[in-house]
Amino acid sequence: MNSNNTKSNFGKWGWSMIIYCAISYYLAAALSTDALNWFPTAFQAYHGWGDAFVNMCNAMAGIGGWIGVAAAVVFSIMTAKKGSRFMALFGNILTGILCLIMAFTNSQPVFFLMVICLTFIGGNIQLNVVPNNIMNVWFPKKKGLALGWASMGLPICTATIIVIFTKIGNPRTAYILLGIVCFVFAIVSVFWAKNTPEEVGCTPDNEPVNVEEAKALMEKQQAVAKSMTMGVIAKDRNTWLIGIGHGMLWMTTIGLVSNFVTKLVMTGIDVQVSVMMLTVAAVIGIIGSYIWGWLDQKFTTKIASVIYGIWYLAALLIMIFQNGSTGMMVLAAIFVGFGIGGIGNLIPSIIGTCFGRFGFIQANRLIAPINTAVRSTALIIIGAIGVANLNKAYMVFFICSVISIIMICFIKPDENKVVIK
């Protein structure tokens, strides 16, 4: 399914979809993981809530991820029936409403409920479901490279969202504005998002083939995808190797990014410098996003995933032995940052590689819940161990990453499930 063609010749509509998905990835990160570096302490100070509030926010985000296990199944089924464009409209309106409730409530229980809801909705619809599906449908052969560009939205968010929120200052105002952005993107999605390239007279991967031939191939691909029942997907070993193996790499990513600033501050680095280093890490991640996509396209998703896992083992060691020195701080920014954009490429790409263009959304009905359950464990681990003991959490992530690398080595795509001609 992979092509080693690393030229970014996606065409006008192809680039349009890449930019659209980049915005969706940005919002997904803003609504869940990245904002954890800011909103718990900001709302704690604004409302005068107790010291336990910050740890509770991490724990609630973890619970939201676990609830997202069931939500991922529902959202994937809805996408298969209604299409990506409908889900973009539905998801953005819903998250917009939740942001406004989070902004205006003075109740801690209601606030925690909004943290849970934003985590499982933003992390599913605006990440797992809509952009990932669009990328696989539009770019079945060059999805690695296309995702390398689109998933830049994730590190761009990491680089900018805390800076933007800090400039706004008032957390209530920040979340009102974030809600408005979601509403606007919902309306824009109706006219911008396209379920398939064929519906606008284009071809997958912008290949120079007759549009009618492309439509005939699409019908064949859709027929193969329809045969992928939940039972078929559940019996495929790749489902579990991707779900658990890549899920643990995602868990490590969340564990490193969500409390990156907190960890640096704990080693004696000034909070402003720590925020700046998160921004630096994210800027490095923008470059990393393309590099991981290029590696995916050139050497296959499986090889790129193994390299990614090894890279983050080094990142974890750097964070464990972080001592507050300038050198270690810079290394942390480089190693953590370079991986920020990678996981967003690799998971949807490996699913498409193993299950095909339209088989992605079918397989994602089961893989996304598994990924969600595993990745969300990061915040539960941190919440249970306590932010004050991050090194213990990093050691757990290290062991899990080693296991994930071993699992990924056993992934083997089935050519019968992938129709490319």
pLDDT tens, residue by residue, 117-130: 998 888 788 877 89
- Does position 420 have pLDDT exceeding 70, yes or no? no
Between 415 and 314, the more confident residue is 314
Between 62 and 25, the more confident residue is 25
Locate tokens 């992934």: which residue?
411
Q: pLDDT-derived band of residue 304, with 50, 70 and 90 as boundaries?
A: very high
- The pLDDT of residue 214 is 76
CA 409, CA 357: separation in Å to the nearest integer?
A: 23
Contact 36, 123 (CB under 8 A): no
- The pLDDT of residue 57 is 86
- The pLDDT of residue 51 is 78
- The pLDDT of residue 94 is 94
- Does position 419 have pLDDT exceeding 70, yes or no? no
Q: Which of 93-102, 154-163, 318-327 has the lowest mean pLDDT?
A: 154-163
Q: How many residues does the chain have?
A: 421
- Does position 417 have pLDDT exceeding 70, yes or no? no
Q: Which amino acid type is present at position 202? A: C
- The pLDDT of residue 416 is 63
Between 237 and 226, the more confident residue is 237
Residue closest to 43 by CA, chosen among 156, 159, 168: 168
Average pLDDT across the chain, whole number: 88
pLDDT tens, residue by residue, 30-63: 987 788 878 888 999 999 998 788 888 878 887 8
Between 9 and 240, the more confident residue is 240
Non-local CB neighbours of 176 within 8 Å, separated by 6+ positions:
99, 100, 103
Between 112 and 415, the more confident residue is 112
Q: Which of 221-235, 249-263, 325-339, 347-361 has the lowest mean pLDDT?
A: 221-235
- Does position 185 have pLDDT exceeding 80, yes or no? yes
- Does position 65 have pLDDT exceeding 80, yes or no? no
Give the mean pLDDT of 184-203: 93
Give the mean pLDDT of 207-216: 78
- Does position 210 have pLDDT exceeding 80, yes or no? no
Non-local CB neighbours of 57 within 8 Å, separated by 6+ positions:
36, 39, 40, 112, 115
- Token pair, residue 112, equals 């925690």
- The pLDDT of residue 291 is 94
Q: pLDDT-derived band of residue 70, with 50, 70 and 90 as boundaries?
A: confident
- The pLDDT of residue 176 is 96
- The pLDDT of residue 398 is 96
Grouping H, G, I as helix, E, B as strand and the rest as coil, residue 363 is helix
Non-local CB neighbours of 290 within 8 Å, separated by 6+ positions:
148, 149, 152, 341
